[in-house]
Amino acid sequence: MNQLVHTARQLEAAMGIRLPMDRTVGIGCVGAGFIMADCHLVAYRQHGLNPRCITSRTRSRADEVAARHGIPQVADSVESLVADPEIKILDVAVPPDCQADVIHRALSGKHFLRGILAQKPLGMNYQEGLEIVRLCDAAGVTLAVNQNMRFDHSVRACGKLISSGTLGTPVLATIDMRAIPHWMPWQQRLGWVTLRIMSIHHLDTFRYWLGDPDRVFASVAPDPRTSQKFSHEDGIALYILEFPGGARASSWDDVWTGPAREGSAADIGIRWRVEGTDGLARGTIGWPGYPERVPSTLEFSTVRDHGAWHRPRWDEVWFPDAFIGPLADLMVAVENGQSASISGQDNLKTMALVEACYRSVAQHRAVSPQEIIDEYQ
């Protein structure tokens, strides 16, 4: 099995996204902000998918995005959008505090939906995420969550190295993020900065790589720069995860990164590393360079390589190219009558892990995500 992913060339070839057989299926888009306009729709058009209608809180913004991406219809409401019998897939890209309402409205009236792609985080908290999952289950609609970092090429390739046994038994995984994200206006009203917005990517990636952790210990501090704009708790987030079998993972999610915007030299980037009993993989995430196209990277070496490094490379970048992954994954699942790999049910475990981080911060102790899950059984 190791030989399947042992060379850079084989990894490069293995990272193509599986697309649905029928790319003409109508997609309804809810939201017309940056993520929809500059990521989702760009990726969908690159792969010949069929965004058929869009709606947004502001009609003029929906008209603008529709014209830009050649979307033939603009709806005045979620209800009128899903009433179109050609709309089978709903792509929801709205703030977390609006998401449950949008999905409830989409499913409460006449609709022809077979699948919904929801943004992360899945609602405001685990409880709301669970309600969304149950709502979609009751309606017979396949739910997936847009955990798009799983579809970054270096993250997926590392997952392949781990699952194939190429690195042996995982021992330690780390992510070191030193980056200044573009914060959305809705974050100020929610008081959120890092854990539910950026760390959720890394927590989900650790789950993708290593499975579900037994417990997490988290510590946070405000980001001095963002503190000048609004009060928050979780600007800089540090956490350690303990996994069954002994593996450990840790991340430094630093959105301050020093006074880079205030005049100092900048040292910005995301680096990750996975150590196993038989090999080591390390890489970078190119996202902080957006809008420049900076592909993520990976290199790995094993005890069988006599000190050599393998360095697969890809032209694709996380923003926007990897955004085809979540929707394609959902559409293939719908075609085959299966759950998506990033299903709502699976994502509840990521939501529970995020909630466990907040509880760890509040109570100064390691917290099991199962604590969160058990409270809502």
pLDDT at 6: 58
pLDDT at 298: 97
pLDDT at 5: 55
Range of the domain at 141: 17-147+336-343
**355-374, pLDDT tens digit by residue?**
999 999 999 999 999 999 99
Question: pLDDT tier at 1 (50, 70, 90 boundaries)?
Answer: very low
How far apart, in whole angstroms, are the C-alpha atoms of residue 32 and residue 188? 19
Weakest mean pLDDT among 12-16, 69-73, 118-122, 167-171: 12-16
Q: Is the pLDDT of residue 50 over 80?
A: yes
Number of domains in the chain: 2
* Range 254-258, long-range pairs (CB < 8 A, 24+ positions): 254/177, 254/178, 254/179, 255/177, 255/179, 255/180, 255/181, 255/193, 255/194, 255/198, 255/223, 255/225, 255/226, 256/223, 256/224, 256/225, 257/178, 257/179, 257/180
SS3 312: coil
Q: Kindly state the DSSP code that residue 343 receives in the 8-state scheme.
A: B
Question: Is the residue at 323 inside a domain?
Answer: no
pLDDT at 15: 76
Same-domain status, 190 and 254: yes
The residues, any chain, with a CB within 8 Å of residue 375's CB and separated by 6 or more, are none
Question: pLDDT tier at 183 (50, 70, 90 boundaries)?
Answer: confident
CB 115 within 8 A of CB 144: yes
We report the CATH number of the domain holding residue 55 as 3.40.50.720
State percent of the chain over pLDDT 70: 98
Q: Is the pLDDT of residue 3 over 60?
A: no
Same-domain status, 273 and 210: yes
Smallest CA-to-CA distance from 65 within 51, 80, 78, 77 is with 51
